[in-house]
């Protein structure tokens, strides 16, 4: 019998969902509107792909979930903050996300901006407080804070979002689109895998292999997202063709639909290849790459 990837994803998603709700600050007594708004977007979460990758990376080096779960939750908080800010009127101006009204559509722009700010900040509390209580060494916690912050600052995710906005409507080449996708999407996926691996006890050589795996996987993931935006597909939670209407720089626009599919398949193979030096405990990491690479399109 093969590996039950869907069962693995579901089981770990539920673990993450439960822990996220436990970690989010609930003021004694009355919850504030800000905290409601943070919870709203966390509860509207999707497959929890990034945290599950963090858990799988820890498993690949024998690290138990008690060590990787805080990191996994922190990464999902950072991801959720980025979605809230990306959806704002001044950015992508989206009113729906995963089929639900976006945060600012429900709570207003001011609260949505602050909810994003607070979720980003909370991620670093989770790592240094809950993470250390759960068994991370201070040295691991400090390194993981650095991994996640570097991946999501001006040289990573936030820089990628700025580039994305700047490229709207421009005639963009393949290299520029790849650079933007690597910063905007792959960097956080890389941070999830690397920090999960680090929490699980990976050595520097293993971390470097995981980094390459995650970068290839993250880029493939975003290219496939671009393809799904054109061809539709099961449950992307937004209207088909939204990228084209917004004149977004996408991989298919730069390289054609077939070129995009070929590139995604090549990157998925590359990702799996990066795991050659790991033993059977890396099976979930391998299977996740194949599963994501094979998303229906």
The structure tokens listed for 221 are 């993931």
Contact 72, 18 (CB under 8 A): no
By CB under 8 A, is residue 258 in contact with its own copies? no
Token look-up 């040295």 returns: 139
Q: Considering only the stretches 42-50, 82-90, 263-271, 287-295, report the one whose residues sit in contact with its own copies under the rule CB under 8 A.
A: 82-90
By CB under 8 A, is residue 95 in contact with its own copies? no
Q: Considering only the stretches 6-14, 50-58, 144-152, 190-198, report the one whose residues sit in contact with its own copies under the rule CB under 8 A.
A: 144-152
Burial degree of 75 (CB within 10 A; 0-12, 13-18, 19+): buried
By CB under 8 A, is residue 120 in contact with its own copies? yes
Q: Is the dihedral of CA 57, 164, 240, 268 positive or negative?
A: negative
Beta bridge mates, 97: 100
Task: For residues 49 and 62, give the distance between their C-alpha atoms in angstroms, rounded to a whole number.
Answer: 20
Token look-up 């720089």 returns: 249
The structure tokens listed for 286 are 């391998």
Burial degree of 235 (CB within 10 A; 0-12, 13-18, 19+): exposed
Measured from the CB atom, the residue of 87 and 287 that comes closer to its own copies is: 87
By CB under 8 A, is residue 265 in contact with its own copies? no
Q: Which residues contact 30 (CB under 8 A, 6 or more apart)?
A: none
By CB under 8 A, is residue 106 in contact with its own copies? no
Instruction: Please report how close the Cβ of residue 72 comes to its own copies at its closest, in angstroms.
Output: 18
Measured from the CB atom, the residue of 127 and 253 that comes closer to its own copies is: 127
Beta bridge mates, 96: 101
The correct pick among 5, 96, 106, 145 for binding its own copies (CB under 8 A) is 145
Instruction: Lay out the site mask for its own copies across 170-189 (x = CB under 8 A, - = otherwise).
Output: --------------------
By CB under 8 A, is residue 40 in contact with its own copies? no
By CB under 8 A, is residue 142 in contact with its own copies? yes
Residues at the site binding its own copies, with contacts judged by CB under 8 A: 25, 27, 32-35, 38, 85, 88, 90-91, 108-111, 113-114, 116-118, 120-122, 124-125, 127-129, 132, 137-139, 141-143, 145-146, 149-150, 152-155, 158-159, 161-163, 165-166
């Amino acid at each position: 019998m093969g590996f039950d990837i869907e069962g693995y994803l579901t089981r770990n998603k539920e673990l993450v969902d439960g822990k996220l709700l436990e970690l989010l600050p609930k003021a004694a007594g009355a919850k504030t509107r800000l905290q409601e708004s943070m919870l709203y977007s966390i509860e509207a979460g999707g497959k929890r792909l990034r945290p599950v990758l963090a858990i799988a990376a820890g498993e690949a080096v024998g690290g138990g979930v008690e060590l990787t779960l805080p990191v996994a939750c922190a990464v999902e908080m950072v991801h959720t903050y980025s979605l809230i800010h990306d959806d704002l009127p001044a950015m992508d101006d989206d009113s729906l996300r995963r089929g639900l009204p976006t945060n600012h559509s429900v709570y207003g722009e001011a609260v949505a901006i602050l909810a994003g700010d607070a979720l980003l900040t909370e991620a670093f509390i989770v790592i240094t407080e809950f993470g250390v209580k759960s068994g991370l060494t201070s040295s691991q916690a400090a390194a993981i804070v650095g991994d996640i912050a570097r991946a999501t600052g001006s040289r990573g995710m936030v820089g990628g979002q700025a580039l994305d906005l700047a490229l709207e409507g421009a005639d963009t080449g393949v290299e520029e689109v790849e650079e933007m996708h690597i910063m905007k999407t792959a960097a956080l996926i890389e941070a999830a895998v690397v920090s999960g691996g680090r929490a699980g006890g990976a050595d520097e050589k293993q971390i470097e292999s995981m980094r390459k795996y995650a970068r290839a996987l993250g880029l493939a993931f975003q290219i496939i997202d671009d393809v799904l935006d054109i061809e539709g597909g099961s449950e992307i939670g937004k209207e088909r063709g939204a990228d084209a209407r917004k004149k977004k720089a996408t991989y298919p626009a730069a390289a054609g639909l077939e070129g995009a599919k070929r590139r995604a398949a090549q990157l998925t193979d590359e990702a799996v290849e990066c795991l050659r030096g790991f033993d059977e405990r890396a099976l979930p990491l391998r299977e996740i790459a194949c599963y994501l690479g094979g998303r229906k399109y």
